[in-house]
Amino acid sequence: MPGAHADADSPRVVGTALVQDEASRQVLLQRYPRREPDPDLAARLAVLLTDSGQRLRWSAAPVEDLSCDNGDVRFRIQVRIPPPCAERSCPVLVFYSSACPRPGYHWRPEFFLREGFIYAEPAVRGTRCWEAWARADDGERRMSAATDLEASSRCLRARFIRDGVTPRLGILGWSYGGAQALMGMTRFAGSYDAGFALAAKTDLGSFLLQAPPELRRARADEYGDPATDADRLRAISPITYVDRVQGPIALMLGARDPKVSLSDADVFVRALQARGQDASLMIIPEHAHLTERPEEVVFEHAHILQFLTAKLGPADTDDHAR
């Protein structure tokens, strides 16, 4: 079952998502309403979550540690492969977060393995594997460190070529990982074939200008100060690269998440749609920054899997939750 996370339902991350104009809040909630996921898929995920790895433990199998080089930087990618995909082509779900990947059972990879995805977690610069590595993408280093996203794609496509067929890659993340997902789909367009971002910032400069002073100060070392680092903030924001996007993108935000801007997400999605891109946004009225209640976990992951299955076409394993 999900465990307590510092950014799930604690007072500092439960409030009201930012908007440029308070009058637009209800307009945005109506424009991007909550939709229920496929009930059969949600039921399968609920079974996996309830099982808690007691019986259904594909994710507990030994992992593969794939080494990936990006110039003079080397990092690892932890890979889990479901049994049906050991010898045939399957899509790869690439999950980014600030946490250092660990082996062993976890309900999230179990969800994706059972639905026919290879599950990969790159330990790129910025992940908390050790202190210096966690800070390796702070401030002015972020532009260079972000190229690890592109390198991860190259390494995974090369690793999972089957009979000359290059696998399709999906990219996913929450919060920090959501920003990584959006940069993978924008600045490094073509590296990933579809992306789903949750609780992600789309325009760091705009977000920081809307954010309260204490949050702005807390993020200064990581991102920059909008008063002095406007060019850098523009360069590390997904909105800057919307004209490069090639694949479908879905965003999900919580209306009670004070760490995101609904207005910025609206601008981002509308800019993509104006170019004819496949882009969508869903705002969940009751969700905050990160969610861990079982019903929230199932809701979010059912939508993610519906989207990625539709866009990437995973192998039919016929093994779902057995």
263 phi and psi angles, rounded to 5 deg: -65, -45
| Residue 125: DSSP 8-state | B
Instruction: Give the per-residue pLDDT at 41.
Output: 97
Instruction: Give the per-residue pLDDT at 38.
Output: 97
In the chain, where are the structural domains located? 11-312
Q: Which residue has the higher pLDDT, 1 or 200?
A: 200
Decide if pLDDT at 320 tops 70. Answer: no
Q: Residue 39's pLDDT band (boundaries 50, 70, 90)?
A: very high
- pLDDT per residue over 243-264, tens digit each? 999 999 999 999 999 989 999 9
Residue 254: its H or E element? strand 249-254
Decide if pLDDT at 221 tops 90. Answer: no
10-19, 90-99, 144-153, 161-170: segment of lowest average pLDDT = 10-19
Find all residues with CB under 8 Å of 246, minimum gap 6, and list them. 189, 190
Give the residue-averaged pLDDT of 194-218. 91
Q: Residue 144 corresponds to which tokens in the numbers above?
A: 């260079």
Instruction: Give the per-residue pLDDT at 2.
Output: 55
Instruction: Give the per-residue pLDDT at 314.
Output: 62
Decide if pLDDT at 322 tops 70. Answer: no
Q: How far apart are CA 152 and CA 256, in angstroms?
A: 33
Look up residue 182 and give its amino acid: L
Q: Residue 152 corresponds to which tokens in the numbers above?
A: 């991860």
- Please state, as a whole number, how many other Cβ atoms lie within 10 Å of the Cβ of residue 183: 27
Q: Residue 7's pLDDT band (boundaries 50, 70, 90)?
A: low
Rounded mean pLDDT of the chain? Answer: 92
Find all residues with CB under 8 Å of 95, minimum gap 6, and list them. 108, 109, 119, 120, 121, 172, 173, 177
105-109, 137-141, 152-156, 306-310: segment of lowest average pLDDT = 137-141
Q: Residue 154 corresponds to which tokens in the numbers above?
A: 């190259």
Residues present in the chain in total: 322
- Percentage of the chain beyond pLDDT 90 is 79
Closest CA to 257 of 200, 182, 195, 304: 200
Starting at the earlier edge strand, list the strands of the sheet with 92-96: 64-70, 73-80, 118-122, 92-96, 169-174, 194-198, 249-254, 279-284
- Percentage of the chain beyond pLDDT 70 is 93
- Strand 73-80 relative to strand 64-70: parallel, antiparallel, unpaired? antiparallel
Q: How far apart are CA 322 and CA 320, in angstroms?
A: 6
Q: Identify whether the C-beta of residue 288 lies closer than 8 Å to the C-beta of residue 9.
A: yes
pTM, entire model: 0.93
Check: CATH 3.30.930.10 for 11-312? Answer: no
Instruction: Give the per-residue pLDDT at 181.
Output: 98
Q: Residue 210 corresponds to which tokens in the numbers above?
A: 């809307």
Give the residue-averaged pLDDT of 14-43. 92
Helices (H) and strands (E) counted in the chain, each on its own, are 12, 8
Angle formed by the axes of helices 39-51 and 107-114, to 10°? 130
Q: Residue 315's pLDDT band (boundaries 50, 70, 90)?
A: low
Instruction: Give the per-residue pLDDT at 321.
Output: 44
Closest CA to 193 of 266, 117, 126: 117
Instruction: Give the per-residue pLDDT at 12.
Output: 60
